[in-house]
C-alpha cells in the first residue's frame, strides 16, 4: 500500500492509495476517507462503487459525502471501477473494458484474466482495508448506476457480509437492458442462464437474507426506461416478499448533483445499521 494523496477534510483525512492487486493482476487505486473518530477508535466502513467511466476520484470529489461520514464516524472506501494499466484488456466504447468492469467475475477471454471486480470488491479489498486502517470489520455497501448494480449484487450474493446496502440509479436488471446485455455477453458469454447470478432482479427471488434495499432514482434520469428499469425490481421484490424502499425523486437526473442531494440520508441509513 502506498499513499499518493492526502487532504484535510471535515476534521478527517481524505486519502488516495495504490496497491498491487493479486485478484486483478494490476495496480489499483482507492479513495479512503478517515473521519476524525479514527484518531480515537476503530470505525465501521461504507464501501462505494462508482458507475461507468468513473475512477476512485468521482465520488470523493463530487458527492460531498465526507461531511456526513465525519458526522457519523464512518470510513468511506471508493475503489476504481475496473483493472487498469499496460496489458489490461479494453474495447471501443465507454461501456466495455476500462472503467466498465460491471463488478462481475468474467469467465470469457480476454476479460477473465483480470476482470474479477466482484471478487476484488468483496474479498481482497476489505481484507486490505481491515489490515491497514482502524476498522471494526463491520461494513456496508452502496453505489451508483453500474456501481449500484455492483453493490446490490455484492450484498445479495454474500449474505451476512454487509449490514446494509443502498444504491442510486442502479442497473437492477442487467440481463434485460442494453448496457447489461452487451457487458454480460462479453464478460460472461452467451449463456443467459449464467447471467442470473449477476442480476439483482433474479437474485432477490431466492435471497436467503432479507437485507432491505434502499434505492433512490431520479424521475428525470435519461437512462431510466432503457437501462435502469426500477419497475422490474419493484415487481420482483413484491413477488418475493423482499423489503424494498424505492424513492422516485421528481426532477433529478443521473448526475452527481442527484447523489450529493441525498448522500447524507444514505450515510445516515448505513450508520444506523452499522451501529446495530
Residues with catalytic function = 145, 221, 254
> Nearest-CA neighbor of 58 among 252, 222, 259?
259
The SS3 assignment for 30 reads: strand
What is the spatial distance between Cα 261 and Cα 116, in angstroms, rounded to a whole number? 32
| Separation CA 135–CA 119 (nearest Å) | 20
Integer CA distances (angstroms), 122 to 35, 161, 200, 220, 240, in order? 22, 8, 16, 32, 25
DSSP state letter for 227: I
d(CA 81, CA 89): 14
Which regions of the chain does DSSP assign to beta strands (E)? 2-9, 12-21, 26-34, 43-49, 74-79, 135-143, 165-168, 213-218, 244-249
Report the distance separating Cα 155 and Cα 50, nearest Å.
16
Neighbouring-strand partners of residue 140: 46
263 sits in which H/E element: helix 256-275
Amino acid at each position: 500500500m502506498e499513499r499518493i494523496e492526502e487532504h484535510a477534510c471535515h476534521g478527517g483525512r481524505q486519502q488516495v492509495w495504490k496497491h498491487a492487486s493479486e485478484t486483478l493482476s494490476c495496480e489499483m487505486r482507492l479513495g479512503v476517507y478517515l473521519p476524525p473518530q479514527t484518531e480515537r477508535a476503530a470505525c465501521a466502513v461504507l464501501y462505494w462503487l462508482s458507475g461507468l467511466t468513473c475512477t476512485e476520484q468521482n465520488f470523493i470529489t463530487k458527492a460531498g459525502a465526507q461531511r456526513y461520514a465525519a458526522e457519523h464516524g464512518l470510513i468511506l472506501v471508493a475503489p476504481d471501477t475496473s483493472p487498469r494499466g499496460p496489458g489490461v484488456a479494453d474495447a471501443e466504447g465507454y461501456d466495455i473494458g476500462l472503467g466498465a468492469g460491471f463488478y462481475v467475475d468474467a469467465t470469457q477471454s480476454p476479460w477473465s484474466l483480470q476482470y474479477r471486480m466482484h471478487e476484488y470488491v468483496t474479498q481482497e479489498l476489505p481484507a486490505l482495508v481491515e489490515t491497514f486502517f482502524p476498522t471494526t470489520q463491520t461494513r456496508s455497501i452502496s453505489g451508483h448506476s453500474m456501481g449500484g448494480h455492483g453493490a446490490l449484487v455484492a450484498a445479495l450474493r454474500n449474505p451476512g457480509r454487509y449490514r446494509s446496502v443502498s444504491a442510486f440509479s442502479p442497473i437492477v436488471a442487467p440481463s434485460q437492458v442494453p448496457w447489461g446485455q452487451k457487458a454480460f455477453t462479453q464478460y460472461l458469454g452467451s449463456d443467459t442462464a449464467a447471467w442470473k447470478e449477476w442480476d439483482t432482479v433474479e437474485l432477490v427471488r431466492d435471497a436467503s437474507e432479507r437485507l432491505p434495499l434502499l434505492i433512490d432514482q431520479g424521475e428525470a434520469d435519461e437512462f431510466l426506461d432503457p437501462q435502469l428499469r426500477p419497475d422490474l425490481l419493484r415487481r420482483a421484490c413484491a413477488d418475493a416478499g423482499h423489503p424494498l424502499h424505492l424513492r422516485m425523486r421528481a426532477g433529478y437526473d443521473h448526475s452527481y448533483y442527484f447523489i450529493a442531494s441525498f448522500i447524507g440520508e444514505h450515510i445516515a441509513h448505513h450508520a444506523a445499521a452499522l451501529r446495530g
